[in-house]
Amino acid sequence: MKKFIIGPIICVLFLISTLGVFAAGENVISMRLASDQPVTAPGEKGFSFFADRIKEETNGQITITLYPNAVLGSGDECVEQAQAGVLEMAKSSCANLGKFIPIMDIFSIPYLFRDKDHYWKVLDGEVGSEIADYTEEAGMKLLFWVDAGARSFYNNVRPIHTPDDLKGLKIRVMGSDIMIKTMEAFGASPTTTAFSEVYSALQTGVIDGAENNPPSVDKMKHNEVAKYYSLDEHMMIPDTLVISLDVWNKLTKEQQDIFIKVSKETQEFVKKEWAKQEVEGLKRISVTTKINLIPDKSAFIEAVKPLQESLSPKFEGYIEKIQAVK
Protein backbone atom coordinates (compact mmCIF):
# COMPACT_ATOMS: atom_id res chain seq x y z
CA MET A 1 0.00 0.00 0.00
CA LYS A 2 2.80 2.43 1.09
CA LYS A 3 4.46 1.88 -2.29
CA PHE A 4 1.35 3.11 -4.06
CA ILE A 5 1.17 6.27 -1.93
CA ILE A 6 4.88 7.19 -2.12
CA GLY A 7 4.95 7.03 -5.95
CA PRO A 8 2.25 9.69 -6.48
CA ILE A 9 3.72 11.85 -3.67
CA ILE A 10 7.10 11.87 -5.39
CA CYS A 11 5.37 12.76 -8.65
CA VAL A 12 3.50 15.64 -6.99
CA LEU A 13 6.70 16.91 -5.31
CA PHE A 14 8.53 16.75 -8.63
CA LEU A 15 5.71 18.63 -10.32
CA ILE A 16 5.70 21.32 -7.63
CA SER A 17 9.44 21.81 -7.93
CA THR A 18 9.30 22.04 -11.71
CA LEU A 19 6.35 24.43 -11.48
CA GLY A 20 8.51 26.49 -9.14
CA VAL A 21 11.18 26.76 -11.81
CA PHE A 22 8.60 27.84 -14.36
CA ALA A 23 7.12 30.28 -11.88
CA ALA A 24 10.57 31.79 -11.35
CA GLY A 25 10.88 32.01 -15.13
CA GLU A 26 7.58 33.82 -15.28
CA ASN A 27 8.84 36.26 -12.66
CA VAL A 28 11.32 37.66 -15.13
CA ILE A 29 10.07 41.14 -15.92
CA SER A 30 10.48 42.24 -19.52
CA MET A 31 10.35 45.92 -20.30
CA ARG A 32 10.52 47.93 -23.50
CA LEU A 33 12.39 51.19 -23.88
CA ALA A 34 11.48 53.34 -26.89
CA SER A 35 13.65 56.11 -28.32
CA ASP A 36 14.00 58.02 -31.56
CA GLN A 37 17.61 57.76 -32.76
CA PRO A 38 20.02 55.10 -34.07
CA VAL A 39 21.73 52.87 -31.50
CA THR A 40 25.00 54.73 -32.02
CA ALA A 41 23.63 58.08 -30.74
CA PRO A 42 24.86 59.10 -27.25
CA GLY A 43 21.50 58.64 -25.49
CA GLU A 44 20.87 55.31 -27.20
CA LYS A 45 24.32 54.03 -26.27
CA GLY A 46 23.41 55.03 -22.73
CA PHE A 47 20.15 53.06 -22.90
CA SER A 48 22.06 49.98 -23.97
CA PHE A 49 24.43 50.46 -21.00
CA PHE A 50 21.35 50.98 -18.78
CA ALA A 51 19.71 47.74 -19.98
CA ASP A 52 22.91 45.73 -19.41
CA ARG A 53 23.45 47.14 -15.94
CA ILE A 54 19.83 46.57 -14.86
CA LYS A 55 20.04 42.96 -16.04
CA GLU A 56 23.31 42.49 -14.20
CA GLU A 57 22.18 44.12 -10.95
CA THR A 58 18.86 42.20 -10.87
CA ASN A 59 20.56 38.90 -11.76
CA GLY A 60 18.56 38.68 -14.95
CA GLN A 61 15.24 39.31 -13.19
CA ILE A 62 14.56 42.43 -15.25
CA THR A 63 15.34 42.55 -18.95
CA ILE A 64 14.97 45.65 -21.10
CA THR A 65 14.59 45.52 -24.87
CA LEU A 66 15.47 48.66 -26.80
CA TYR A 67 13.28 50.02 -29.58
CA PRO A 68 15.35 52.83 -31.15
CA ASN A 69 14.71 54.81 -34.39
CA ALA A 70 11.14 55.75 -33.42
CA VAL A 71 9.88 52.24 -34.33
CA LEU A 72 7.28 52.47 -31.54
CA GLY A 73 6.27 56.01 -32.52
CA SER A 74 7.37 59.64 -32.30
CA GLY A 75 8.53 61.25 -29.04
CA ASP A 76 4.96 62.39 -28.16
CA GLU A 77 3.39 59.08 -29.05
CA CYS A 78 5.80 57.15 -26.84
CA VAL A 79 5.17 59.47 -23.90
CA GLU A 80 1.42 58.95 -24.36
CA GLN A 81 1.96 55.19 -24.31
CA ALA A 82 4.12 55.36 -21.17
CA GLN A 83 1.51 57.55 -19.51
CA ALA A 84 -1.19 55.02 -20.34
CA GLY A 85 1.00 52.21 -18.99
CA VAL A 86 1.15 50.35 -22.32
CA LEU A 87 4.84 51.12 -22.80
CA GLU A 88 7.25 50.73 -19.90
CA MET A 89 9.89 53.37 -20.72
CA ALA A 90 10.34 56.18 -23.21
CA LYS A 91 13.05 58.67 -24.07
CA SER A 92 11.56 62.10 -24.44
CA SER A 93 12.80 65.60 -25.02
CA CYS A 94 11.46 68.02 -22.41
CA ALA A 95 9.96 69.92 -25.37
CA ASN A 96 7.66 66.94 -25.95
CA LEU A 97 7.09 66.28 -22.24
CA GLY A 98 5.81 69.86 -21.91
CA LYS A 99 2.46 68.84 -23.38
CA PHE A 100 1.93 66.44 -20.51
CA ILE A 101 3.87 68.23 -17.77
CA PRO A 102 3.65 72.00 -18.41
CA ILE A 103 6.69 72.92 -16.29
CA MET A 104 8.94 70.90 -18.62
CA ASP A 105 8.36 73.62 -21.21
CA ILE A 106 10.66 75.83 -19.17
CA PHE A 107 13.63 74.15 -20.84
CA SER A 108 12.50 75.38 -24.26
CA ILE A 109 13.12 78.98 -23.16
CA PRO A 110 15.98 80.29 -25.33
CA TYR A 111 19.22 81.12 -23.56
CA LEU A 112 17.83 79.94 -20.23
CA PHE A 113 21.18 78.43 -19.27
CA ARG A 114 24.43 80.38 -19.24
CA ASP A 115 26.49 77.36 -20.30
CA LYS A 116 26.87 73.60 -19.94
CA ASP A 117 28.12 73.87 -16.39
CA HIS A 118 25.02 75.88 -15.38
CA TYR A 119 22.78 73.36 -17.18
CA TRP A 120 24.16 70.42 -15.17
CA LYS A 121 24.22 72.34 -11.90
CA VAL A 122 20.49 73.02 -12.38
CA LEU A 123 19.54 69.52 -13.53
CA ASP A 124 21.59 67.75 -10.88
CA GLY A 125 20.56 70.15 -8.14
CA GLU A 126 17.45 70.90 -6.10
CA VAL A 127 15.64 72.81 -8.86
CA GLY A 128 16.15 69.95 -11.32
CA SER A 129 14.82 67.37 -8.90
CA GLU A 130 11.79 69.53 -7.99
CA ILE A 131 10.97 69.85 -11.70
CA ALA A 132 11.52 66.12 -12.25
CA ASP A 133 9.04 65.33 -9.47
CA TYR A 134 6.20 66.96 -11.46
CA THR A 135 6.47 64.06 -13.89
CA GLU A 136 4.64 61.86 -11.37
CA GLU A 137 1.53 64.05 -11.63
CA ALA A 138 1.34 62.92 -15.26
CA GLY A 139 1.58 59.20 -14.45
CA MET A 140 5.30 58.78 -15.11
CA LYS A 141 8.57 58.95 -13.24
CA LEU A 142 11.66 60.69 -14.60
CA LEU A 143 14.55 58.27 -14.15
CA PHE A 144 17.35 60.50 -15.40
CA TRP A 145 18.24 63.51 -17.53
CA VAL A 146 19.80 62.59 -20.86
CA ASP A 147 22.35 65.11 -22.13
CA ALA A 148 21.06 66.85 -25.25
CA GLY A 149 23.59 69.68 -25.58
CA ALA A 150 22.75 72.95 -27.31
CA ARG A 151 20.56 73.41 -30.39
CA SER A 152 21.64 75.54 -33.36
CA PHE A 153 20.26 76.35 -36.81
CA TYR A 154 20.99 74.50 -40.06
CA ASN A 155 19.45 75.44 -43.37
CA ASN A 156 19.77 75.55 -47.13
CA VAL A 157 19.40 79.27 -47.80
CA ARG A 158 22.22 81.17 -46.07
CA PRO A 159 24.53 81.03 -43.08
CA ILE A 160 23.04 82.64 -39.98
CA HIS A 161 25.15 85.31 -38.29
CA THR A 162 22.43 87.51 -36.75
CA PRO A 163 18.69 87.01 -36.08
CA ASP A 164 18.03 89.06 -39.26
CA ASP A 165 19.44 86.21 -41.32
CA LEU A 166 16.55 84.04 -40.11
CA LYS A 167 13.87 86.37 -41.52
CA GLY A 168 11.36 84.48 -43.60
CA LEU A 169 13.10 81.08 -43.30
CA LYS A 170 10.79 78.14 -42.78
CA ILE A 171 12.28 76.35 -39.78
CA ARG A 172 11.15 73.01 -38.37
CA VAL A 173 10.73 72.81 -34.58
CA MET A 174 9.33 70.27 -32.11
CA GLY A 175 5.69 70.80 -31.14
CA SER A 176 6.41 73.20 -28.27
CA ASP A 177 4.69 76.59 -28.09
CA ILE A 178 7.80 78.26 -26.73
CA MET A 179 9.90 76.92 -29.60
CA ILE A 180 7.33 78.31 -32.03
CA LYS A 181 7.30 81.71 -30.30
CA THR A 182 11.11 81.78 -30.26
CA MET A 183 11.26 81.27 -34.02
CA GLU A 184 8.72 84.06 -34.46
CA ALA A 185 10.78 86.35 -32.22
CA PHE A 186 13.74 85.69 -34.53
CA GLY A 187 11.56 86.51 -37.56
CA ALA A 188 11.58 82.92 -38.89
CA SER A 189 8.49 81.00 -39.91
CA PRO A 190 8.15 77.93 -37.65
CA THR A 191 6.59 74.65 -38.64
CA THR A 192 6.27 71.46 -36.57
CA THR A 193 7.42 68.22 -38.18
CA ALA A 194 8.11 64.81 -36.67
CA PHE A 195 11.83 64.30 -36.07
CA SER A 196 11.85 61.27 -38.37
CA GLU A 197 10.50 63.43 -41.25
CA VAL A 198 13.09 66.19 -41.03
CA TYR A 199 15.56 64.60 -43.48
CA SER A 200 13.03 64.33 -46.30
CA ALA A 201 11.49 67.73 -45.51
CA LEU A 202 14.94 69.30 -45.97
CA GLN A 203 15.67 67.26 -49.05
CA THR A 204 12.43 68.18 -50.81
CA GLY A 205 12.54 71.82 -49.71
CA VAL A 206 9.33 71.56 -47.64
CA ILE A 207 11.37 73.35 -44.96
CA ASP A 208 14.37 75.66 -45.37
CA GLY A 209 15.98 74.48 -42.18
CA ALA A 210 15.76 73.06 -38.71
CA GLU A 211 17.66 73.33 -35.46
CA ASN A 212 19.36 70.68 -33.38
CA ASN A 213 22.49 69.65 -31.54
CA PRO A 214 25.56 68.32 -33.44
CA PRO A 215 25.22 64.61 -32.48
CA SER A 216 21.57 64.57 -33.63
CA VAL A 217 22.35 66.31 -36.93
CA ASP A 218 25.19 63.85 -37.46
CA LYS A 219 23.38 60.64 -36.43
CA MET A 220 20.23 61.52 -38.41
CA LYS A 221 22.48 62.56 -41.34
CA HIS A 222 20.61 65.86 -41.71
CA ASN A 223 23.91 67.45 -42.76
CA GLU A 224 23.66 65.51 -46.04
CA VAL A 225 20.71 67.75 -46.94
CA ALA A 226 21.72 71.02 -45.25
CA LYS A 227 24.26 73.52 -46.60
CA TYR A 228 24.84 75.71 -43.52
CA TYR A 229 25.11 75.00 -39.80
CA SER A 230 25.34 78.12 -37.62
CA LEU A 231 26.25 77.59 -33.98
CA ASP A 232 24.07 80.15 -32.17
CA GLU A 233 23.23 77.57 -29.42
CA HIS A 234 19.81 79.11 -28.73
CA MET A 235 18.36 76.31 -26.59
CA MET A 236 19.56 73.57 -24.26
CA ILE A 237 16.57 71.25 -23.93
CA PRO A 238 17.41 68.09 -22.01
CA ASP A 239 16.14 64.69 -23.01
CA THR A 240 14.82 62.37 -20.30
CA LEU A 241 14.14 58.72 -19.68
CA VAL A 242 10.68 58.25 -18.17
CA ILE A 243 9.09 55.08 -16.82
CA SER A 244 5.37 54.50 -16.53
CA LEU A 245 4.31 55.06 -12.90
CA ASP A 246 2.15 51.90 -13.02
CA VAL A 247 5.23 49.88 -13.90
CA TRP A 248 7.39 51.67 -11.34
CA ASN A 249 4.90 51.06 -8.53
CA LYS A 250 4.89 47.33 -9.25
CA LEU A 251 8.65 47.07 -8.68
CA THR A 252 9.93 46.03 -5.26
CA LYS A 253 11.80 48.60 -3.17
CA GLU A 254 15.02 46.72 -3.92
CA GLN A 255 14.37 46.84 -7.68
CA GLN A 256 13.51 50.55 -7.50
CA ASP A 257 16.81 51.20 -5.69
CA ILE A 258 18.67 49.39 -8.46
CA PHE A 259 16.91 51.55 -11.08
CA ILE A 260 17.86 54.70 -9.17
CA LYS A 261 21.50 53.64 -8.86
CA VAL A 262 21.82 52.57 -12.50
CA SER A 263 20.04 55.74 -13.66
CA LYS A 264 22.73 57.85 -11.99
CA GLU A 265 25.47 55.79 -13.62
CA THR A 266 23.79 56.10 -17.03
CA GLN A 267 23.36 59.87 -16.78
CA GLU A 268 27.14 60.13 -16.28
CA PHE A 269 27.84 57.61 -19.05
CA VAL A 270 25.79 59.68 -21.54
CA LYS A 271 27.50 62.93 -20.49
CA LYS A 272 30.89 61.46 -21.42
CA GLU A 273 29.62 59.92 -24.65
CA TRP A 274 27.98 63.23 -25.52
CA ALA A 275 31.17 65.25 -25.14
CA LYS A 276 32.99 62.80 -27.39
CA GLN A 277 30.29 62.65 -30.06
CA GLU A 278 29.84 66.41 -30.15
CA VAL A 279 33.42 66.82 -31.34
CA GLU A 280 33.29 63.84 -33.73
CA GLY A 281 29.85 64.89 -35.02
CA LEU A 282 30.97 68.42 -35.86
CA LYS A 283 33.96 67.01 -37.74
CA ARG A 284 31.73 64.79 -39.87
CA ILE A 285 29.19 67.57 -40.44
CA SER A 286 31.95 69.90 -41.65
CA VAL A 287 32.65 67.55 -44.57
CA THR A 288 29.24 68.25 -46.16
CA THR A 289 28.15 71.50 -44.55
CA LYS A 290 29.59 74.96 -43.95
CA ILE A 291 29.77 75.53 -40.19
CA ASN A 292 30.00 79.02 -38.71
CA LEU A 293 30.56 79.90 -35.06
CA ILE A 294 28.69 82.85 -33.53
CA PRO A 295 31.00 84.02 -30.74
CA ASP A 296 28.87 87.07 -29.88
CA LYS A 297 25.31 85.88 -29.27
CA SER A 298 24.01 89.13 -27.79
CA ALA A 299 21.73 90.00 -30.75
CA PHE A 300 20.04 86.59 -30.42
CA ILE A 301 19.70 86.95 -26.65
CA GLU A 302 18.21 90.45 -27.04
CA ALA A 303 15.70 89.28 -29.65
CA VAL A 304 14.13 86.78 -27.25
CA LYS A 305 14.33 88.78 -24.03
CA PRO A 306 10.71 90.05 -24.24
CA LEU A 307 9.54 86.47 -24.77
CA GLN A 308 11.53 85.29 -21.77
CA GLU A 309 10.11 88.07 -19.60
CA SER A 310 6.55 87.37 -20.72
CA LEU A 311 6.94 83.73 -19.66
CA SER A 312 8.02 84.49 -16.13
CA PRO A 313 4.49 84.32 -14.54
CA LYS A 314 3.74 81.00 -16.27
CA PHE A 315 6.63 79.28 -14.51
CA GLU A 316 5.93 80.72 -11.07
CA GLY A 317 9.43 81.69 -10.05
CA TYR A 318 11.26 78.75 -11.64
CA ILE A 319 13.00 80.88 -14.30
CA GLU A 320 14.42 83.02 -11.52
CA LYS A 321 15.35 79.93 -9.47
CA ILE A 322 17.26 78.55 -12.46
CA GLN A 323 19.01 81.86 -13.08
CA ALA A 324 20.02 82.03 -9.42
CA VAL A 325 21.92 78.71 -9.59
CA LYS A 326 25.62 79.58 -9.61
* Contact map string, positions 131 to 170, toward ligand GCU, x by CB under 6 A: -----------------x----------------------
Considering the complex, what minimum distance in angstroms separates the CB of residue 320 from ligand GCU? 27
Query: How would you class 71 by CB atoms within 10 Å of its CB: exposed for 0-12, middle for 13-18, buried for 19 or more?
Result: exposed
Site for ligand GCU in 245-304 (CB under 6 A): none
Q: Cα(69)–Cα(238) distance, rounded to whole angstroms?
A: 18
Q: Cα(24)–Cα(188) distance, rounded to whole angstroms?
A: 58
Q: Which is nearer to ligand GCU, 148 or 160 (CB)?
A: 148
DSSP 325: -
DSSP 145-213: EE----EEEEESS---SSGGGGTT-EEEE-S-HHHHHHHHHTT-EEEE--GGGHHHHHHTTSSSEEEE-
Q: Which is nearer to ligand GCU, 153 or 258 (CB)?
A: 153
- Candidate residues 113, 195, 248, 269; the one interacting with ligand GCU per rule CB under 6 A: 195
Q: Cα(182)–Cα(192) distance, rounded to whole angstroms?
A: 13
Q: Which is nearer to ligand GCU, 58 or 240 (CB)?
A: 240
Considering the complex, what minimum distance in angstroms separates the CB of residue 214 from ligand GCU? 10
Q: Is 89 helix (H, G, I), strand (E, B) or coil?
A: strand
Considering the complex, what minimum distance in angstroms separates the CB of residue 70 from ligand GCU? 9
Query: How would you class 29 by CB atoms within 10 Å of its CB: exposed for 0-12, middle for 13-18, buried for 19 or more?
Result: middle
Q: Which is nearer to ligand GCU, 132 or 148 (CB)?
A: 148
Q: Cα(50)–Cα(71) distance, rounded to whole angstroms?
A: 19
Considering the complex, what minimum distance in angstroms separates the CB of residue 220 from ligand GCU? 7
Site for ligand GCU in 203-242 (CB under 6 A): 212, 216, 239
Q: Which is nearer to ligand GCU, 62 or 198 (CB)?
A: 198
* Contact map string, positions 49 to 78, toward ligand GCU, x by CB under 6 A: --------------------------x---
Query: How would you class 246 by CB atoms within 10 Å of its CB: exposed for 0-12, middle for 13-18, buried for 19 or more?
Result: middle
Q: Which is nearer to ligand GCU, 189 or 256 (CB)?
A: 189
Considering the complex, what minimum distance in angstroms separates the CB of residue 192 from ligand GCU? 10
Q: Which is nearer to ligand GCU, 152 or 212 (CB)?
A: 212
Site for ligand GCU in 23-42 (CB under 6 A): 36
Considering the complex, what minimum distance in angstroms separates the CB of residue 72 from ligand GCU? 14
Radius of gyration over every alpha carbon of the chain, rounded to an integer in angstroms: 23
Q: Cα(287)–Cα(224) distance, rounded to whole angstroms?
A: 9
Based on the shown chain and the rule CB under 6 A, indicate whether residue 93 belongs to the binding site for ligand GCU: yes
Q: Cα(22)–Cα(69) distance, rounded to whole angstroms?
A: 34
Q: Which is nearer to ligand GCU, 174 or 185 (CB)?
A: 174
**Strand 170-173 relative to strand 89-93, pairing:** unpaired
* Binding site residues, ligand GCU, CB under 6 A: 36, 75, 93, 148, 174, 195, 212, 216, 239
